[in-house]
Structure 1
Amino acid sequence: MTELPKKEQLYELIRANPFISQQDLATQLGLSRSAVANYIATLVRERRILGRAYVLPDQRPILCIGASNLDRKLRTAAKLVLGTSNPATQDESFGGVARNIAENLARLGAPTALITAVGNDASGRALLAHAEDAGIDTRGALRLDGVSSGTYTAVLDRDGEMVVALADMALNDKLSPAFLATRQQQRASAALVVADLNLPRDTISTLLDDAVRDGVPLVLVAVSEPKMVRLPHNLLGLRLLIVNEGELAVRVGRSLESDAAIGAACAEVQRQGVQDVIVTRGARGVMYTSPAGVMRLDAPAVDVVDVTGAGDAFAAAVCWSLHSGEADLGLACRRGLQLSAMTIECEQTVCPTLEPGHFDGLGTKLTESVLD
């Protein structure tokens, strides 16, 4: 068999590893760095790769940045009684907001990558192996020696509703602006960046600055009321912010007792620079900004099995719609509510039956109204 020309060999190496360095290419092909640079410039001109990240035009991923951790769920066998021991059952699974969103996206068939921090321990290795098996690119992950991977422990009542949750997420502070700088090529070549607020505040600021500079849409997903402090005041560059009612109240510094108050708070946050805001409201559905004003969308009725992961499923469906070029945020939210309901009705954090084509024909039967 005739050996491929050097340019085609180089192209195949890039296909196998889009983050390969020019020096590694030169070493493997027996070329000089300047020769490699010339071949890459030719491939860019031919539009066979896109820019410095060597990304193939049909493979620009949704890049999720944030937490991965081991989830522990404890469900009480009877009504929870505080201050004493309660009989319970336990199960473990893989979680973390960014990781959960990434797995939902990958199961939906979207090209997906994950930048996260894990310990170089059994849990960390299992987390990354599970993500890779789901089709998530984890080559950008930070692996740290001498530390434990993150954990999230949720206590659920016998009906599946969360009573309290405990999160050990300090590892995510290692996802600093300096570390993200080492993943600049990967971030700049993404089609969409989705980050959770487990990241440090200065890292969130960096992502906002880069969204303005690189033109890559950025979605931020809140994770809790205490971590809203990590959201910078200036939100210029932010395509979408997803929060719940309590998190929005923390952001604007006042209680939100009515739909009108929530609508006014969304408008206030928009004046801080974000293009759109989605407010999740549990069983009462969502509210979201639109050119016609703040809209309300009812949630479908569900049989609750386990609410863990429902918000992440909602965010994933919305991001899937944005990545697909969907300009209608209402349709994106309808898809989000459908996937959230599907997740609530199964025991797993990410529904294992989710697959590409899930949204074919869905998202058209939920009640929507404009806020007066």
Structure 2
Amino acid sequence: MVNSTIGKLIVIGGVALDMTSTISKSSKNLTSILHTSNPGHIKQTLGGVGRNVCEAAVRTGAPAFLVSAVGNDLAAQTVRQGLKAIGMSTQFIQCIPNHPTAVYNAIHSKSGELIAAVADMDIFDTVDPIMIDKIVHTEEPSLVCFDGNITAKTMSKITAKSVQLGIPVFFEPTSVPKSLKIFERDIITSGAIKFISPNQFELEAMSETARALLNNTISNHDNDTMTPKAPALVDRVLPYAIHLSHMIPNVITKLGEEGCLYVGRSTRTRQVHVQYFEPEKVDHIVNVTGAGDCFVGTLLANLRKHITIQPDNATLWKQIISRAQRAAILTLQSDLAVSPYINDKLLYSK
């Protein structure tokens, strides 16, 4: 059994080179920019859900390591150099020849709206699950997180090894289609996944899928401890979160500008505990990219220090989630996917 109070954090998921092309303000209209080259600005940054999560965890003060893959190309060199420059380890970044490094290429209008984008993420389908199994076995982290970019086969390997070693798993769904991978093979039924961080739409999709597996209906509130200030959206998603908690005991739903909802189910008594967290105030928003990932990264860094946290520990959950919300706000105010101002002051150590 792993010493869960001082171990490492392993994050398994996507790393990508993000390229954002913004059309110059001199362009007249959308029609005039099609089928030709346009003046503008191109910005390259590091991205990928797993990478963003891991960087936020590192900046929060956790000994976090990213497990991912790149190709043998110029983009891979940029990714590796960029990771080293911000103090992230490249020890577990696998090189897969003849496969391009993941790239997300977006074209924005002069006002910042997305016109079109291409996401080349096929490399993550080739990640070797045996390699990841060996890393988890050798490193024996206190907490493992994986995002939805990896294959269901790899997820199954991770959860099986985590059960064997007694390591809790955190799942970041990434998108609605990718969130449903955990219902393939024996991933969710293994019981390895103890924490999950969906948004509203991922939560609803996963709960409906879980309902089909459990052959029952979405019930009313098992236990209603909501505050009077909770918005209507919380009442809408709460039954879905309670239902999903039958399979994953800690459901942390990111509701964006509406805040955050925590639903925890005691594995011993099966009692449900609910907490709603109002959104933190934000003065201005520069970029929304990566805010949710930073919420998860700082949450992971804190969970690693309090891995035995119980659903009924409302005070500790408030401390942890409020810090994760602050990390998200710092990134909303940054033009990077992870704000450089995230630091270990967001680590709750009591």
TM-score interval w.r.t. the shorter chain?
Answer: 0.7 to 0.9
Separation (CA, whole Å) in 2 of partners of 1:175 and 1:208:
16
Q: Which moved more, 1:82-91 or 1:170-179?
A: 82-91
Point out the more displaced range, 121-130 or 69-78.
69-78
Could you tell me whether the CA contact under 8 Å between 1:160 and 1:306 is conserved in 2? no
Larger CA Rg, structure 1 vs 2: 1
Give the 3 Å change call, closer, same or farther, for CA 350–142 of structure 1 in structure 2: same
**Paired residues of 1:343 and 1:350 also in contact (CA < 8 A):** yes
TM-score (norm 1): 0.73
- Structure 1 position 325 matched with structure 2 position 306: yes
In the alignment, which of 237, 241, 246 is matched to residue 196 of structure 2?
241
The one of 151, 161, 167 equivalent to 1:216 is 167
- The 1:58/1:248 distance shift into structure 2, 3 A limit, reads closer
C-alpha distance in structure 2 between counterparts of 1:315 and 1:81, whole Å: 38
Pair 1:296-2:276 in alignment: yes
Alignment match, 2:59: 107
Residues 177-232 of structure 1, C-alpha deviation per residue, up to 9 Å, x if partnerless?
33323424345x11211110101012112222222221112111011112123122
AA aligned to 2:145 is: V
Using the aligned pairs only, state the percent identity: 22
Shift of 1:154: 3.7
Equivalent in the alignment of 1:365: none
Farther off after superposition, 262-271 or 321-330: 321-330
Q: Give the match's secondary structure for 1:229.
A: helix
Output aligned runs, 1:73-92, within 5 Å.
73-75=20-22, 85=33, 88-92=40-44
Partner Cα distance (2:259, 2:23) in 1: 27
Is the contact between residue 245 and residue 263 of structure 2 (CA under 8 Å) also seen in structure 1? no
Higher relative contact order (CA 8 A, sep 6+): 2
The one-letter amino acid of 1:204's match is M
What SS is found at the alignment partner of 1:234?
Answer: helix
Q: Which has the larger displacement, 100-109 or 76-85? A: 76-85
1:349 aligns with 2:337: yes
Alignment partners' CA distance in 2, 1:235 and 1:80: 56
State the partner residue of 1:263.
238
Instruction: Give the deviation of 1:324 after TM superposition.
Output: 1.9
Aligned residue pair count: 305
Q: Deviations over 1:130-187 (max 9, x none)?
A: 2233333322221011221001234556665667653211101122433323424345
Residue type at the aligned position of 1:236? G
Among 248, 259, 264, the residue aligned to 1:285: 259
The separation in 1 between residues aligned to 2:81 and 2:96, in whole angstroms, is: 16
**Alignment-derived partner of residue 336 in structure 1:** 324
SS of the residue aligned with 1:123?
helix
Rounded Cα–Cα distance in structure 2 between residues aligned with 1:146 and 1:83: 37
Long gaps (5+) in structure 2: 210-217, 219-231, 266-271, 310-315
Which residue of the partner structure matches residue 67 of structure 1?
Answer: 14
Give the letter for the 1:115 counterpart.
Answer: V
TM-score norm. by structure 2 comes to: 0.77
> For the structure 1 residues 160 and 105, does the alpha-carbon distance in structure 2 shift closer, same or farther, using more than 3 Å as the test?
farther
